[in-house]
Amino acid sequence: MCGIVGYVGNRNCVATLLDGLKRLEYRGYDSAGIAVVEDSSLHCIKECGKVSVLEKKIGEEWPLWPEKACHIGIAHTRWATHGAPSCINSHPHIDSSGRFAIVHNGIVENYAALKRHLIDHGHTFNSETDSEVIANLISECYNGDIFAATAAALRQIVGTFGLAVISLEQPDTLIVARRGSPIVVGVGNSENLVASDIAAIVAYTKRVIFLNDDDIALITADRIDIRNIDNVPVAREIAKIDWSIDAAEKQGYEHFMLKEIFEQPEAVGNALRGRIDEQNITAILSGLSMTPREMTQINRILVAACGTSMHAGMVGDFFFEDLAGIPTSVEQAAEFRYRNPIIEPNTLIIPISQSGETADTLAAVREAANKGATVAAICNVVGSTIARESGRGVYLHAGPEIGVASTKAFTCQVSVLLLMAVKFARTRRLDRENAKAILDEVKQLPELIRAVLAMAENIRVVAEKYGSADNFFYIGRGYLYPVALEGALKLKEISYIHAEGYHAAELKHGPIALLEPKVPVMALANDIPGKDKILANIQECKARKSPVIATATVGDKEVESLADDVIWIPACSKYVAPIVTVVALQLFAYYVARMRGCEIDQPRNLAKSVTVE
């Protein structure tokens, strides 16, 4: 994986492809490349490093490209899976006859057997990648029809693919296909575009078609013909993108991550807008497509997610059990289908994914559907695969999240989970008075987040004090335990500090052996249930000479007297404390990473959307 862009039409495709690649840089990558058909020849340039390095090389090798009549091409940013990051392993890959060029996201699981077969039939290979097999396989299958050749090749592949193909045989035709890795087609006027992510093409068109698994599309400047892998025509709706390219720009912020941290009052407000029923004191979540009677029949909830989304699900676990009394568990999505989970008839599965394309979470959705479960997804990207295959759920409406380290998606996910829990709880045991108190505080979330953001300069000072640490502990209890995990994840993602999140009670069961003056501890000591126990844990840390930074409710003198430094959090209940507190931890991680000179928006080795298992 990581980013695919393709173009066919009347403009200079080199400039369009480079622009698309730049808009996909946030996904994380180690190399980039481009292939075009020009003057009846297939030209390919690729390079390790940033897109800017590729652009410079194009200028050196194709000095006249701005004037060239070059109207069809494909481009790629690669995040290494098979084969080390190198120029030769970069995409695009060209078959050994020099007629077909491909870019590919995904994994070809049976590539070794296919490669041996192709070598026996005279094909040669230059790279260590599994993707190069696809180019030679299409060449092997070609018999005058590029669509048929691609379909025949893909029928032999075991694994996943988001694929784009151009060829000298049909130089006005772009072929794209998907199975398990997203592909979107941008519908233009006398031009069409393809990409693995809307961000690459939204500057050119707001009309898009999301391909389903095993769809193959034949695309020219004036035609989009979509068929399945068995060559049967299929109809796919044209969707309209509801955000502008401005939403994917920095707009004066130093980094996308900082911009997205500061967007959270508006993002959470958008996630909540129109979803609070003042009359009935409940939540309005029409995407769930469940009547109150159907909701009362749900007697178990399973959340399937990875990374930051899994931490959001862990907060949701508290919401559903405390408010609605529904037994809830959070499953690591990568293990979900392999451990043969017990899914009873009245179980609700909630997959959570910012992108809606996370491979492990998508696999969990399919496993749950096969077992007859009710599935309701929480996603940010409209039209994403998880959203479409779940059939019901809730969109976040957080806007595009460009920074690899997720921020506003987490706060919106937790906000939506709280609304879901209130809605379920109102069909059970949550009375109007208590529901109103919770929803009234939910409505205050944007202002509570703004109060934290107003203290950004104080958080920066604390962060820079501890920015030289090599190890860090985060501890929390109850509703703030998942926030400790998320805070540690943010720090390690962007600052490369070894950070671990623990339930505070677990300190004395092993981790306390690592405490020393060089190991700071972030203790989440807000004035909510469990605070007294956290204070005891802070004492344990101080006894081992570890410096303690505490999050504390504004004005809490007790915490202030114990901690070396305090990050103040506005007073709020346990239900919204996770959302408000995590914003401070995001800022802390950001300022530590900035002080250390790290690449914040594109951390090393990370990709925004993990579309391989």
* Burial classification of residue 323, based on how many CB atoms lie within 10 Å of its CB (0-12 exposed, 13-18 middle, 19 or more buried): buried
Backbone dihedral region of 55: left (phi > 0), alpha (psi from -120 to 50 degrees) or beta? alpha
Whether the link from the prior residue into 92 is cis, omega within 30° of 0, is yes
Q: Is 355 helix (H, G, I), strand (E, B) or coil?
A: coil
CA distance 72 to 456: 47
Q: Is 373 helix (H, G, I), strand (E, B) or coil?
A: coil
CA distance 337 to 367: 6
Within its chain, how far is the Cα of 216 from the centroid?
A: 25
Q: Which of 50, 57, 259, 608 is catalytic?
A: 608
Catalytic, 68? Answer no
The one-letter amino acid code at 235 reads A
Q: Is 594 helix (H, G, I), strand (E, B) or coil?
A: helix
CA distance 219 to 200: 17
Q: Which residues contact 390 (CB under 8 A, 6 or more apart)?
A: 351, 365, 375, 376, 377
Q: Which of 2, 48, 70, 541 is catalytic?
A: 2
Catalytic, 206? Answer no
Query: Please, which residues bridge with residue 219 across strands?
Result: 174, 224
Token pair listed for 303? 């959340």
User: Which ranges of 255-301 would DSSP assign to H, the alpha helix?
Assistant: 256-262, 264-272, 292-296
Pairing of strands 521-524, 548-553: parallel
Report which DSSP code applies to 106: S
CA distance 407 to 587: 10
Q: Is 98 helix (H, G, I), strand (E, B) or coil?
A: coil
The one-letter amino acid code at 531 reads K
99 and 150 in contact (C-beta within 8 Å)?
no
Beta strands in 336-461, from DSSP E residues, in sequence order = 347-353, 374-375, 377-379, 393-395
- Residue count of the chain: 613
| Cα angle: 445, vertex 462, 593; to 5 degrees | 85
383 and 208 in contact (C-beta within 8 Å)?
yes
For the annotated catalytic residues, the residue numbers are 2, 608
